[in-house]
Every structure is written in structure tokens, then in C-alpha cells.
Amino acid sequence: MIRIAAGLVLATLLPAQGQLENTGKPMRVAFECTEADSQAAALSCSEEEPCQVYLELASVESVGNKIFLTGNLHTPTTTLFSILLVTEDAGKTWSEGHPRIRLGGLDQIQFVDFQNGWIAGANLQSTPRDPFFLITTDGGKTWHQRPIYDETRVAVIERYWFDTKENGMLLMDARLERNRHELYETRTGGESWSLQQASVDPIRFPRSRDPGASGWRVRADGATHSYHLEKSESERWQKVASFLVSVGTCKQ
């Protein structure tokens, strides 16, 4: 059994003044690059040659009127922060549902009901490492961060799936460090995991999810340099919100 490292991290929604208003035009996520940000990411930026910072959206999940978007903020060479965008009014206003994790990125997201959900994440500095889950049991009002391993590991979550709020499966890509794939099982809602299989060959994941089953998608739109959040309605995709890809620069 893998023991989760000590240290429970709780977070709540950011204050209301951080909200984005959806007026139909692409929204720009707030970003201000500090000297600490540049130093942590080892950026070489200047007024003459600033580092452009971009938003990347990776996954979407809806729970009633709530919609969750996961992703990260990055330069052309370095990931700076994770980002979790949340709306509770079907896309009219947006806020950040968890503090940004320095050098981290958020990817796949799943809810099994209106209360219990998981978001896969990792430290994306140089190579993906130290995979973790953000876990909520109150519909996304608060999240706590649970690392998969209790020591640093070069690995990334390939896929996961929860059948219930307790039981789930996880497929890990650990090829860069241990040249193998790893399949894990949890019966504690993702608080701890037990290794079921390890192989140098690809492992068949026993669970699957139709990418279009949720009725939502995130699509990059080159014409507007933005991400479009779209919902399937009457066999057509309708735009619900959009977010600008370019969010700022680092100049330190």
C-alpha cells in the first residue's frame, strides 16, 4: 500500500473580486509575473525580450450548473502555475476554485456525483513528477491535495477512473524513471493506493470513458487566439464561454 505523505492542503474559492464576467468575448485570466515567479521557473526574461505567458486548458467537467476547467499557465519553455476555473451559474461568471500551484498543472477531472470529484495533477518542471490528486467531497467548494507517492517520483497519471466515491483505478506512466507502466487501485477515495500490476509493456486500462459522453469539450480557436468551451446541443456544438490564450508576460 502506498502511504500518502503527511500534510493536508485545504483551499476555498478565491474572493469575488477575482471573478471574470462573460460578455460573449474571450475572457483574459488575471496574471502578474513577479520576480519570485521568474526565479522559481528559472526564466531569463527582460524588458527587451519578455517571456510570453499562455493559458492552456486541458479538461472540462460539469456538475449541474457548475462547470470546472483544468489547465496551466506557461511560457514557451516552462510551466508556471496550475489553474482551476469554475462557474456556478452555467458560464456567466468565473472564478478560480483552488490556489494556483507553482510549477504545477491540472489535467483530467471526474465527478461521480454532485459531491465527490478528483483532478489529476503533477509538477511539470522539466519532466512530469510528483503526481497528485485534488479531491473534493463537497461539490468543489473546497479541495485537498493528496500526492500519490510519499517520495519524489518522475511519473505522470495517464488515466484514472472512479466507479464510486471509494473505489477507483489509476494507470501511471513511470517509464522515464523505472521504464514501466503501473496500475493502482484505491478503496479509500484516492487517499491511498495499492499497486496491482507493473509492466514494461502497455497495460490495458480496465475502465474507459467516451470522450464525448459528457456533452462538453474545450477547443482551441486559432482565429480568436482563444479556447472555446462548447456544449453539445441538438447535434451541434454551442459556445458557452471563451478564454484568451495569451495572458501576459514576464519581464524581470
Distance CA 222, CA 173 (A): 31
**In this predicted structure, what is the pLDDT of residue 125?**
85
* Confidence (pLDDT) at 79: 96
> Residue 9 belongs to what H/E stretch?
strand 9-12
Side-by-side strand order, sheet with 9-12: 9-12, 142-147, 129-136, 117-123, 104-111
Can you give the pLDDT at residue 236? 93
The DSSP bridge partners found for residue 216 are: 231
CA distance 195 to 23: 48
What was the pLDDT predicted at 17?
39
Distances (CA, A) of 237 to 30, 110, 230: 27, 21, 6
- How many residues can be counted in the chain? 252
Q: State the pLDDT at residue 9.
A: 35
pLDDT tens digit at each of 252 positions of the chain: 443 333 333 332 323 337 999 999 999 999 999 999 999 999 998 889 999 999 999 999 999 999 999 999 999 999 999 999 999 999 999 999 999 999 999 999 999 999 999 999 999 988 899 999 999 999 999 999 999 999 999 999 999 999 999 999 999 999 988 899 999 999 999 999 999 999 999 999 987 666 556 799 999 999 999 999 999 988 899 999 999 999 999 987
Per DSSP bridges, beta strands 236-244 and 226-233 are antiparallel
What is the pLDDT, as a whole number, of residue 208?
67
Q: To which H or E segment does residue 37 belong?
A: helix 35-40
What totals of helices (H) and strands (E) does the chain contain, helices first?
2, 18
With 0-12 / 13-18 / 19 or more C-beta atoms within 10 angstroms meaning exposed / middle / buried, residue 15 is exposed
Secondary structure E strands in 77-190: 79-87, 93-96, 104-111, 117-123, 129-136, 142-147, 156-162, 168-173, 181-186
Which residue is listed with cell 487517499? 191
